Chain A
């Protein structure tokens, strides 16, 4: 159990409540709808039905149809109206049903939401948290599996946040909703219901045995721009986020490698201090993400580590990523950067 969880549990009179990531996200939305009348939750199927992944279940019934509602199937429209709502003074939390569907909304995100504060010199802002399930491992095929985070980290004016546990998901989502900048909040859907070791052929783990499934009731925040140290170790630093946090952790455990795994949690702004401190200590750096390799966020991480920690490095930075292909349906597990690909990279770094 992390120090943060312990601290929070103390602060919340020790009520130990275990939630999966969907429930934690639902809890965060519920709390923010309750606390702030400006918060609006909208998206395809999020209203009466409660979302295709159930993240908004019960929210419309509790908070009313003008606070939580369904939208037309138009990502451009969803983001576009959210910009207008933000200009009015609301704090919309639009859901894009799958990250793969976000592309029709890109112009509204890149040219509008991300630029509004700058171009109007703060006269207008677009405070919105765009929630969207991302990543593969659920047999979603090429249009329900992508990890497009690097498209957003490349855009000035957008923050990109990716939780990997129920506890973090709730605290980060509350921080995002309160943030006055537009935030892309990608939810790794493979781990909605439980952490994932990377072995698709082993029985699924539920969240309830994971220490970070203890989610206190009520309001708490996890600051944006701060990484979480998942495991401490000297063998190497592993920079990762989302589903891959759990896969890396499982591989290291299995191989008996004492790696320092950093769950980055926020990609922009990145926690450069945590990265530098760890890599300077371990001298080796492995970067793991599920997204395609070329121009992926790993390339940025690799450049940062090389530029800033070069004289501490004992080996070239290693990247483990998805392949530069669409996410194939039947060959999903050959695409996924699983234990074999990660294990090979770890072995290489250990040998160097």
Chain B
């Protein structure tokens, strides 16, 4: 410790000595999990302010948890979006498809068909229900766990699998890590591997829409861990400064690989409460409650569309599986967490709601799950005709140099020629691909 002059003076005298706080999650592998510290608000008890309200009126909702579906499997309170049974069944169908897709793609990675996959198990509602609350041409700037948005928007499963396999059918030409989709046709922005970069981009898109007097809004998704990035701060600042028609969705799934949400500041406040400092409207929502997710996203969309301002929504949920196929959560968290998660499973909860309404039953659910699995299986077989990763059926060789710039400059032409020459040498004068 440094010798300090005037150590006895009031201003410099710390007693006891300073200590650095390094956050630690409540449970580690093998620990018994008790989630009683998690606030589980009464469904239906949260007020629903007017969509055009002053942002500060949402302050209480930033520390509450907006919930609609209760243990009685009924929808309660002002946030009930009152969706008709057909819409609820459609939502359930998207859920079934997402889960079936995740299962099969995860298995495909384990079978060596691709290098990488990321499931969204337990978080399906935060993408599917949110996407259904938006217009189909509202622009979404997703992170890497929003496959539910693409599925809700009807993106072709074969296209998704082609991308995951980086095969010759991959319209992204095998350039991106698996699951980093892009579909302009579905107003789905190209996913970056860098975290939170999409957040100011979504704000920029929304600003552009406002500049042009358009009616489309933008929505972005970011993990709670990535809110620590400067980009997220920039996004919030620009969103509030220009009153941009944008929704900033924070998926608080408790874990950023092995770092719990405390490393993004969750020990001190909620992620929704970030909104308050910026003057954004903020909502904190049960992310495993599909109706609450839908209602919150629609509230924010209506607000944005009415020029009433941007909204930051925290979806409180749980990452039930590993971060990716490269991750084994058994190394850093208790396996009991998933079982004990107090907000349940989003698919189960929606299913039980429909059953309680008399609009659904277990048999139909089983048939739906079976059909989803069959659909994914058929799409997988079809996509495999285009090849799987590393089996030669990749994109033509020359495509490596295309699209770096709109036109190929001389130095890339030279490098493309070299690459072609290397192929010729390697295959003993054979035809380069």
Contacts and interface: CB of A to CB of B under 8 A. Distances in A.
A121 B172 contact: yes
A159 B208 contact: no
Given A40-B211, A84-B203, A120-B172, A181 B190 contact: no
A349 interface: no
Contacts of A270: 411
Given A40-B211, A108-B231, A120-B182, A84 B237 contact: no
B406 interface: yes
Contacts of A71: 238, 241
Interface residues of A, number: 47
A84 B176 contact: no
A124 interface: yes
A269 B409 contact: yes
Nearest to A271: B410
A119 B175 contact: yes
A108 B403 contact: no
Contacts of A268: 409
Contacts of B175: 118-119, 121
B211 A66 contact: yes
Contacts of A119: 172, 175-176, 180, 182, 190, 192
Given A72-B237, A89-B208, A118-B404, A104 B230 contact: yes
A76 B234 CA distance: 7
A81 B199 CA distance: 9
A257 interface: no
A180 interface: yes
A156 B404 contact: yes
A228 interface: no
Given A84-B202, A119-B192, A77 B197 contact: no
B17 interface: no
A107 B199 CA distance: 13
Nearest to B194: A111
A84 B194 contact: no
A279 B311 CA distance: 60
Interface residues of B, number: 47
Given A119-B182, A181-B406, A84 B201 contact: yes
Given A77-B237, A119-B176, A84 B409 contact: no
Given A80-B234, A81-B207, A269 B184 contact: no
A122 B407 CA distance: 12
Interface string B195-212: 001011111111111111
- Most A CB within 10 A of own CB, among B172, B190, B230: B190
A156 B175 CA distance: 14
A67 B238 CA distance: 16
Contact of B205 (A77, A85, A123): A85
A84 B218 contact: yes
B406 to A, nearest CB: 5
A88 interface: yes
B231 A84 contact: no
Contacts of B165: none
B420 interface: no
Contacts of B403: 117-118, 121-122
Interface string A24-51: 0000000000000000100000000000
B235 interface: yes
A250 interface: no
B183 interface: yes
A81 B209 CA distance: 12
A85 B406 contact: no
A343 interface: no
Nearest to B237: A72
Interface in B171-196: 171-173, 175-176, 180, 182-184, 189-190, 192-194
A111 B197 contact: yes
Nearest to B184: A123
B190 A124 contact: yes
B404 A85 contact: no
B405 interface: yes
Nearest to A40: B211
A88 B208 contact: yes
A117 to B, nearest CB: 5
A272 to B, nearest CB: 6
Nearest to A272: B410
Contacts of A84: 141, 200-208, 218
B238 A81 contact: yes
Interface in B338-380: none
A125 B411 CA distance: 21
A181 B406 CA distance: 7
Contact of A269 (B194, B203, B209, B411): B411
A72 B235 CA distance: 11
B405 A107 contact: no
Nearest to A64: B211
Interface in A136-186: 156-157, 159, 179-181
Nearest to B201: A84
A100 interface: no
A74 interface: yes
Contact of A121 (B171, B194, B197, B201): B171
A108 B208 contact: no
Given A77-B235, A112-B201, A157-B404, 14 more contacts: A71-B241, A72-B241, A77-B200, A77-B238, A80-B201, A80-B235, A81-B207, A83-B201, A88-B208, A90-B208, A108-B197, A117-B405, A157-B405, A269-B410
7 contacts: A76-B231, A83-B201, A87-B201, A88-B208, A88-B212, A119-B176, A180-B406
Interface of B: 139, 141, 171-173, 175-176, 180, 182-184, 189-190, 192-194, 197, 199-212, 218, 230-231, 233-235, 237-238, 241, 403-406, 409-411
Listed from nearest, the 4 A-B pairs whose CB atoms lie closest are: A84-B204, A80-B200, A81-B204, A77-B234
